[in-house]
Amino acid sequence: MTFQNTLEFAKELDKQDELNNWRNEFIFPQHNGRNVIYFTGNSLGLQPKIAKKYVDDIMNDWANLAVEGHFFAEKPWWDYHERFAEPLSKIVGAKPSEVTVMNTLTINLHLLMVSFYKPTKTRYKIICEEKAFPSDQYMFQTQVKFHSRNLGINPNDAIVEVKRRDGEHNIRLEDILAKIEEVGDELALVLFGGVNYYTGQVFDMKTITNAGHKVGAIVGFDLAHAAGNIKLELHDWNVDFAAWCSYKYMNSGPGNASGCFVHEKHHHADLPRFAGWWGHNKERRFKMEPNFDPIIGADGWQVSNLPVLSLAPYLASVELFAKVGMEKLIKKRNQLTAYLEFILHEIDNEIDGTEFEIITPSNQEERACQLSVFLHGQGRNLFDYLMANGVITDWREPNVIRLAPAPFYCSYEDMYHFGQILKEGIKTIA
């Protein structure tokens, strides 16, 4: 398609967009009486309008039923999480028994590492990407230190980062594969982000998983920026485990519950885990038995009874995904992101002395719903101008603005108006 940087063209794209009306299902912050242009679904998704009803339903059940709500609410609390299995499995490409919801993201990754990071004196290394999200880095560091005391290994040797080549913003797949082969028999775990939070680069998880397994390692993924954003086939890719937060592209609310995936090949394995009663045999849970008998499936990794007030808005959003489907969301995501990229290049060409460097891969197979833009010659003042003029975006040091046009609620007209505000901001600051 040949794009045009005009309001009429953007409106025509919206008219043709079969998902355009879904933006009416979300609540937008207001700026001067108008919806903001919202580019931070990669940090916190907008609130679905239906989410409040799902929370209110639980509040009403609590008021009217008290403890009996566990069994007699319209959506009983004791098995509330089971409503996620079918829709979540479709979002991440899994079997329903392979997914569950519990805790929050880094807690779940720690719990999963109890089962899947089993270092020995000779096989103890972890491969991750350079500049992984800080929470993942802290997790790696503390996990390695915890094990190093008993194994006598040097923690500084255990974490192996795959680095970007000099002058490049993204990590080459061939370098990831070469590093896996190089570490070889010393490699215990490969744990990457499915999508790099800073650049928006999508990693080839299928190929990485195959390479890790070839040398005898376990392979897992932090899918914080991937779940609800890209096509995932976790079961078919043979991924061992994964976890994701729900408050970014899945719009569940700030700091909300995490989802987990454990491949069915591990469901009957005698793996170490930190157990709790909600992972115990469901039919015998309330018999208060002394010995842990795990549920077969991902639910067997649950620990405590679930915070249903937090799960309620997550369920509301997951049901929206079930109605629309990832295929349609991805189709719009691709075109919407391409139009945003076109707008950025148009503004760059229109104004002398301006240079935008999009550090997200240009190949659609290696990117999703994010463009990270390096502002050469510009700075924080431009970001502040955008925020003051109704464009909610994200700043990352040293000089990057992250733009995430979420297909559920962003429009082509949003992209056009953003371009005009951006152009005016550059002229004003200059």
- Tens digits of residue pLDDT in 72-131: 999 999 999 999 999 999 999 999 999 999 999 999 999 999 999 999 999 999 999 998
Give me the sheet containing 394-396, strands edge to edge: 355-358, 371-376, 400-403, 394-396
Q: What is the CA radius of gyration of the chain?
A: 23
pLDDT of residue 207: 98
3-state secondary structure of 34: strand
Residues 185 and 290 in one domain: yes
Residue 56 lies in a domain: no
| Total domains in the fold of the chain | 2
Q: Which amino acid is residue 244, in one-letter code?
A: W
Residues 207 and 243 in one domain: yes
For 347, the domain range is 7-48+326-429
* Tally of residues, the chain: 430
Residues 95 and 207 in one domain: yes
Residue 176 lies in a domain: yes
Predicted confidence (pLDDT) per residue in 267-306, tens digit: 999 999 999 999 999 999 889 999 999 999 999 999 999 9
Please give the average per-residue pLDDT across 324-343, as a whole number.
98
What are the distances in angstroms from CA 241 to CA 57, 172, 244, 250, 314? 33, 23, 11, 19, 21
Residue 196 lies in a domain: yes
Residues 280 and 147 in one domain: yes
CATH of the domain at 279: 3.40.640.10
Predicted confidence (pLDDT) per residue in 366-424, tens digit: 999 999 998 876 678 899 999 999 999 999 888 899 999 999 999 999 999 999 999 99
Structure token pair of residue 207: 């190929």
pLDDT of residue 380: 84
Residues 22 and 169 in one domain: no
Residue 372 lies in a domain: yes
Residue 67 lies in a domain: no
Residues 296 and 335 in one domain: no
158 within 8 A of 123, measured Cβ to Cβ: no
Burial group, residue 373, by CB count within 10 angstroms (0-12, 13-18, 19+): buried
Helices (H) then strands (E): counts for the chain: 14, 17
pLDDT band per the 50, 70, 90 thresholds, residue 353 = low
Element (H or E) spanning 375, and its range? strand 371-376
pLDDT of residue 154: 85
Instruction: Determine what percent of the chain is predicted with pLDDT higher than 70.
Output: 99
141 within 8 A of 159, measured Cβ to Cβ: yes
pLDDT of residue 430: 66
Q: Look up the pTM and report it.
A: 0.96
Strand partners, 402: 372, 394
Neighbours of 74 (CB within 10 A): 10
Please give the average per-residue pLDDT across 229-239, as a whole number.
98
Strands (E), 94-240: 99-102, 125-129, 159-162, 187-193, 218-222
Residue 55 lies in a domain: no
Residue 182 lies in a domain: yes
pLDDT of residue 379: 75
Four-point Cα dihedral 228, 233, 237, 242, nearest 10: 30
